[in-house]
Amino acid sequence: MAAVALRSCRRGLSQIFTNGGLSALSTTYLKGLRHKSTVQYASRPDLPKLAYRRVKGKTPGVVFLPGYGSNMNGQKGEALEEFCRSLGHSCLRFDYTGHGASEGVLAEGTIGTWKKDVLFILDELVEGPQILVGSSIGGWLMLLAAIARPEKIAALVGISTAADHIVTSFNSLPLETRKEFEEKGEWVVPTKHSEEGFYKFNMDFLREAENHCVLQSPIPITCPVRLIHGLKDEDVPWHISMQVAERILSPDVDVILRRHGQHRMSDKDDIKLMVYTIDDLIDKLTTMV
């Protein structure tokens, strides 16, 4: 099993702050984004079109996987694109089926559906090794993609990784409560991240998600992995990132905990930490070559 390196943000990033590659970030993202890629659509036989934005460049490239109900146009996705552009590395961000500008219906999607979306992106829209950056449920999909396409993955960066979370949360409810939801055919979860104030998951979604759980056994991933999580995350407990780190087989796994970090990790300092972490990985991967 991998040894888990737990480090403080300030100490762990001391070398990255001196990296010249970050000077472009301070003059672009932190002062406001200057460029933006155009939305394109990928057609797939008998499947909904996927909307994406792409910046071409060097490898390793970066692919951003957003969270459930979110889209590619959030602060993290835009910051990643601008940073990659400044370094001359490729970057791709996209919307899952039923999300954002992509076709499909959110309520009809499953973990398996969105895993196929990610694999399509890796197989058809990017070239060379990629650093996957997964936010929340995107962190779960990131792991599934790395298991399915190890030859295409250079490294992983999880932000508030929600591996197995929807399944374990439901299964942890009292038996009577679970039976009530099962009789109704859906589970209603309060959230502050949607306009309605809740998410609805039908029982078929939950049963299908069980097929994709990764925390019951060693996770066959051997690339470098960085897991960033906020201690004040009220949606996905930070100990899930610890569980992921303990199960991943890679010898190069770091868990970075932010004392005041919340689930979305979208404050300026959160964004900086994410970008610094990716910059450090790019430097490590290119040095190795």
Active site residues: 136, 233, 263
Question: Are the beta carbons of 278 and 81 closer than 8 angstroms?
Answer: no
Q: How many whole angstroms separate alpha carbon 41 and alpha carbon 177?
A: 42
DSSP 11-62: HHTTTGGG-GGGHHHHHTGGG-----PPEEEEEETTEEEEEEEEE--EEEEE
List, in order, residues 6 or more apart from 280 with CB less than 8 Å away. 13, 15, 16, 19
Question: Are the beta carbons of 54 and 37 closer than 8 angstroms?
Answer: yes
254 token code pair = 């770091």
Cross-strand pairs, 155: 131
Q: How many whole angstroms separate alpha carbon 199 and alpha carbon 67?
A: 13
**Nearest one of 217, 231, 214 to 265, comparing CA atoms:** 231
Q: How many residues does the chain have?
A: 289
* Largest CA-CA distance found in the chain, in angstroms, rounded: 58
The amino acid sitting at 234 is E
Cross-strand pairs, 44: 47
Q: What is the CA radius of gyration of the chain?
A: 18
* φ, ψ of residue 9 in degrees (nearest 5): -65, -45
